[in-house]
Amino acid sequence: MHAQELLHKMTLEEKAAFCSGRDFWHTKAIERLGIPSVMMCDGPHGLRKQEGEGDHLGINVSIETVCYPSASALASSFDRTVMTRLGEALGYECQAENVAMLLGPGLNIKRSPLCGRNFEYFSEDPYLSGQMGAAYVKALQSKGIAACAKHFACNNQETRRMSGSSQVDERTLHEIYLPAFEAVVKDGKTRSIMCAYNAVNDTYCAENKMLLTDILRELWGFDGFVVTDWGAVKDRAGGVASGLDLEMPGNPDALGEEIIKAIQDGTLSEEALDKAVLNLLNFVLSSWEQRKPDTKIDREACRQLARKLSGECAVLMKNENILPLNTEESVTFIGEFAETPRYQGAGSSHINVPHSVSALEAAEGRSVLYARGYDAHSKQTDPHLLSEAVNAAKKVDAAVIFAGLPDAFESEGADREHLRLPDNQNELIAAVAAVNPRTVVVLHGGAPVELPWLDQVPALLCMYLGGEQVGSAAVDLLYGSVNPSGHLAETWPLRLEDNPSYLNFPGEDGIVTYAEGIYVGYRYYDKKKIAVNFPFGHGLSYTEFSYSNLRIDKDKITDQESVTVHVDVTNVGRITGKAVAQLYVRDVKSTVRRPVRELRAFDKISLQPGETKTLHFTLDKRSFAYYEPKVHDFFVESGEFVIEIGKNCRDICLSQSVTVEGTTQIPFTVTRTSTIGQLMKHPKGASFIQKMTGSSKGPSDEEQAAAMGEGSEKIMQSMMFEMPLGALVSYGRMTAPQLDALIASLNEQPNDTLSEADKQQ
Ligand code: BGC
């Protein structure tokens, strides 16, 4: 039966109850009408299907399955096809397990490297996050499984995650924290959005009309359904009124009394409830129709995929002629993570893996020795383990230390306290590097750490949380059967104190002010010219790429048009490898604050030695725009923009300018506090001011110089430009009625706008 027909047949009680889940993971069935119950499960980098008792913390056991790399690793692939392959694999698995929706991807921006859940999020950059998210959503949904993009919005920390409020200005919200969600709605067509626990600007997301209706549905055209994060409801009826459709989790006794009461006392319209029911019915019915219970999963193929994806995601951060290792050389693997790797994060995304592959296991058959080096459950150095490792390192051609953040250091539900590795690991790395100059560090973890020993080690490979096959992938990369191609989706700062959110993270008493505004990640480090360990976009390969022949098909466009950018990439090294071309846009001159450059396009391609391929990128209004709160929209300020191709945000190889003309203007109303400087740029105001100053009997240049010193003309001009119109009355230049008449006539102008250049005046 059609959703609309079913809605008409449902009683008020049925409708109200339907909008809360049956249990931890299911929607409610209404047998009388043949409405089935469907299941949703956690992801996003594997299927966490709990068949027994449910929980949202990853505590109770779920089915055994394959664990893929987590989001911070996936984003480092800079590869949409990685997301497509993962999304499709998970889509098949959900079909085989009769799961209708997978709870992911996580799209929150990495505001601070301390957020305990950063391993589940993609990037500090909204464009990259949105591109990776949209590719995943499309692939998952192509198999008939709904995606559920989360956590909408501004859930950028774990401290007070269920009750705090993120205070964000309008521009920052639209430029930094919303675009990834916008991309999965508009481009990915996600069928569901999970609203966050926290509030945005004091209104909880589960009842935030601005987010759930004004932006999500009206601005972006979302036509799916909104589910709460598990237990996020504060005001049940207020939620329905604001655009919330499903409350999770639920229980069979949740009958929606608060909703019914609100409808009966007139504080909630039944129409609002009907909308929610319809959104949910559409999802339930279409999922039911798209079931493919006969789907079979080839687990071995999934494991191979996990290994391949892990290899695509890893980032070679440093390599001074040491990697790849030679099969002939003697090597010692050092560190507990070589034996028991850390490959996924703790909490609701935790996957039950029957067997994960360690690097030691993957290196079987090679001349590799092992020393445990440190106890992963302790921060203290064990002198015995340390000296054993140092002695082992002395005897071999190369030492490979597997280090990283232990589980206790980062997880859902708690933020990190600092950016350091455990002390025992830092001491071990320094001690081993002191006896063996060919020391390689392999890092596991979901987020950046400080690297106090970086200058002492010639090579550093970051696996992030690479999934259950991370050991195999690490060995593939170390010995060169796979050429590293990942690039950092986040800046690795020298120290925590350099991070832009440092003074305002995690806030006080549940209130966190995003005072750094749009300056998140590289947008801040580049603007402040702060030295970092590794910049956004950085990643090495065992081959070299060169970029040439940057062409832009037009040199001038309006913001209603687009430009196509072409660039050639050549593999100038000796082995096949994958290059990531990053396109940044820089606004040459702007009257509002803007980052130095912003990522607006990227692509990853495989090239054989000597091979050249041409990449094509299309840039449109959004590539040049910033969000202008005065018009509540993205806005292009006319002028010159530079298109840059880089290997990372600090290594720009090619650049070329394009002129973009904005076609909209910012309305400007003249008032008594408008300044003379602002008026000078007003079409009619300028001639008035000129007339006025021309007739002025002010002091001569010589008199001015004598009174105020050299440069006085400029000083006088600035002083005048800063003067508000009201002062003309105070200084006797005109009467109050004359001024009011002038203001009225200026505001009558058909074209009563100022050029963009005036906004900051
Ligand atoms: C998490 C969500 C998760 C849900 C269900 C919540 O605590 O924030 O990401 O999908 O639980 O497990």
Q: From the CA of 143, how far away is ligand 1's center (Å)?
A: 23
Q: What is the CATH number of the domain that holds 493?
A: 3.40.50.1700
Output the residue whose Cα is nearest ligand 1's atom 5.
56
Helix (H, G, I), strand (E, B) or coil at 627: strand
Contact 247/233 with Cβ under 8 angstroms?
yes
Binned at pLDDT 50, 70 and 90, residue 697 comes out as low
229 is catalytic: yes
CA pair distance 199, 215, nearest whole angstrom: 16
Q: Give me the mean pLDDT over the 224-236 stretch.
A: 97
| 558: its two tokens | 């309006």
Contact 283/146 with Cβ under 8 angstroms?
yes
Report the candidate in 464, 422, 419, 457 with the shortest Cα–Cα distance to residue 440.
457
Contact 128/537 with Cβ under 8 angstroms?
no
Helix (H, G, I), strand (E, B) or coil at 486: coil
**Burial class of residue 206 (count of CB atoms within 10 Å of its CB; 0-12, 13-18, 19+):** buried
Contact 342/445 with Cβ under 8 angstroms?
yes
Is the domain of 511 the same as that of 604? Answer: no
Q: In this model, does residue 760 exceed pLDDT 50?
A: no
Q: In this model, does residue 684 exceed pLDDT 90?
A: no
| Cβ–ligand 1 contact at 627 (below 6 Å) | no
Q: From the CA of 228, how far away is ligand 1's center (Å)?
A: 9
Is the domain of 314 the same as that of 425? Answer: yes
Output the residue whose Cα is nearest ligand 1's atom 8.
229
* Torsion, Cα of 158, 450, 70, 66 (10° steps): -120
Binned at pLDDT 50, 70 and 90, residue 698 comes out as low
Q: From the CA of 97, how far away is ligand 1's center (Å)?
A: 20
Partners of 619 in beta bridges:
563
For residue 504, the enclosing domain spans 299-534
Q: Give me the mean pLDDT over the 573-595 stretch.
A: 98
Question: What is the full DSSP assignment across 123-156?
Answer: -S-HHHHHHHHHHHHHHHHHTT-EEEEEEETT--
Nearest-atom index, ligand 1, CA of 155: 8
Residue 381 lies in a domain: yes
Q: What pLDDT is attached to residue 251?
A: 84
| 505: its two tokens | 């993270």
Q: What is the DSSP letter of 421?
A: P
Q: In this model, does residue 757 exceed pLDDT 50?
A: no
Q: Which of 42, 125, 229, 587 is catalytic?
A: 229
Mark which of 534, 569, 601 sits at the end of a domain: 534
CA pair distance 358, 337, nearest whole angstrom: 8
| Residue of 230, 233, 351, 412 to mutate, ligand 1, most atoms within 8 A of C-beta | 230
Helix (H, G, I), strand (E, B) or coil at 29: coil
Residue 294 lies in a domain: no
Is the domain of 8 the same as that of 71? Answer: yes
Q: From the CA of 229, how far away is ligand 1's center (Å)?
A: 6
Contact 200/228 with Cβ under 8 angstroms?
no
| Cβ–ligand 1 contact at 258 (below 6 Å) | no
Binned at pLDDT 50, 70 and 90, residue 718 comes out as confident
Residue 207 lies in a domain: yes
Q: In this model, does residue 14 exceed pLDDT 50?
A: yes
Contact 94/66 with Cβ under 8 angstroms?
no
* Torsion, Cα of 660, 663, 666, 668 (10° steps): 120
Report the candidate in 148, 379, 375 with the shortest Cα–Cα distance to residue 246.
148
Q: What pLDDT is attached to residue 597?
A: 98
Is the domain of 654 the same as that of 561? Answer: yes
| 410: its two tokens | 């980062």
Mark which of 645, 661, 677 sits at the end of a domain: 661
Specify the pTM. Answer: 0.95
Q: What pLDDT is attached to residue 64?
A: 94
Is the domain of 467 the same as that of 579? Answer: no
Mark which of 625, 643, 661 sits at the end of a domain: 661
Q: What pLDDT is attached to residue 288?
A: 98
Residue 111 lies in a domain: yes
Tell me which of 717 and 208 has the higher pLDDT.
Answer: 208
| Cβ–ligand 1 contact at 192 (below 6 Å) | no
Q: From the CA of 348, how far away is ligand 1's center (Å)?
A: 6
Q: What pLDDT is attached to residue 710?
A: 74
Give the tens place of pLDDT for each residue, 451-478: 999 999 999 999 999 999 999 999 999 9
Nearest-atom index, ligand 1, CA of 48: 12
**Burial class of residue 318 (count of CB atoms within 10 Å of its CB; 0-12, 13-18, 19+):** buried
- Proportion of the chain above pLDDT 70, given as a percent: 96
Q: What pLDDT is attached to residue 761?
A: 42
Helix (H, G, I), strand (E, B) or coil at 570: strand
When divided into structural domains, the chain yields a total of: 4
Q: From the CA of 128, how far away is ligand 1's center (Å)?
A: 23
Question: What is the full DSSP assignment across 427-451?
Answer: HHHHHHHHH-SSEEEEEESSS----
Helix (H, G, I), strand (E, B) or coil at 754: strand
CA pair distance 113, 502, nearest whole angstrom: 10
Give the tens place of pLDDT for each residue, 53-87: 777 776 778 999 999 999 999 999 999 999 999 99
Q: From the CA of 218, how far away is ligand 1's center (Å)?
A: 26
Is the domain of 439 the same as that of 560? Answer: no
Is the domain of 317 the same as that of 188? Answer: no
Is the domain of 209 the same as that of 89? Answer: yes
Q: Give me the mean pLDDT over the 605-632 stretch.
A: 98
C-alpha to C-alpha distances, 184 to 131, 373, 582, 599, nearest whole angstrom = 8, 44, 21, 18
| Cβ–ligand 1 contact at 25 (below 6 Å) | no
Tell me which of 317 and 752 has the higher pLDDT.
Answer: 317
Give the tens place of pLDDT for each residue, 124-151: 999 999 999 999 999 999 999 999 999 9
Contact 328/393 with Cβ under 8 angstroms?
no
| Cβ–ligand 1 contact at 348 (below 6 Å) | yes
Is the domain of 693 the same as that of 597? Answer: no
Residue 540 lies in a domain: no
Output the residue whose Cα is nearest ligand 1's atom 3.
348
Helix (H, G, I), strand (E, B) or coil at 48: strand
Q: What is the CATH number of the domain that holds 162?
A: 3.20.20.300
Taken in order 508, 511, 515, 519, the sign of the CA dihedral is positive
Residue 170 lies in a domain: yes
Q: In this model, does residue 482 exceed pLDDT 80?
A: yes
C-alpha to C-alpha distances, 416 to 116, 117, 304, 506, nearest whole angstrom = 5, 9, 32, 10
Find tokens 């007739």 and name the residue.
695
Is the domain of 441 the same as that of 399? Answer: yes
Residue 539 lies in a domain: no
Report the candidate in 125, 76, 188, 71 with the shortest Cα–Cα distance to residue 585.
125
Report the candidate in 168, 169, 238, 158 with the shortest Cα–Cα distance to residue 197.
158
CA pair distance 262, 269, nearest whole angstrom: 8
Helix (H, G, I), strand (E, B) or coil at 7: helix
Is the domain of 238 the same as that of 343? Answer: no
| Residue of 48, 50, 70, 103 to mutate, ligand 1, most atoms within 8 A of C-beta | 103
CB-facing half-sphere around the CA of 293: CA atoms within 13 A = 3
The secondary element (H helix, E strand) that includes residue 399 is: strand 398-404
CB-facing half-sphere around the CA of 531: CA atoms within 13 A = 1
**Across all residues in the chain, what is the average pLDDT?**
94
| Residue of 229, 248, 349 to mutate, ligand 1, most atoms within 8 A of C-beta | 229
| Cβ–ligand 1 contact at 538 (below 6 Å) | no
Is the domain of 627 the same as that of 733? Answer: no
Q: What is the CATH number of the domain that holds 566?
A: 2.60.40.10
Give the tens place of pLDDT for each residue, 150-204: 999 999 999 999 999 999 999 999 999 999 999 999 999 999 999 999 999 999 9
Nearest-atom index, ligand 1, CA of 42: 10
| 348: its two tokens | 């609701």
| Cβ–ligand 1 contact at 15 (below 6 Å) | no
Give the tens place of pLDDT for each residue, 288-298: 999 999 999 99
CA pair distance 505, 493, nearest whole angstrom: 16
Q: Give me the mean pLDDT over the 32-54 stretch.
A: 93
Q: What pLDDT is attached to residue 685?
A: 78
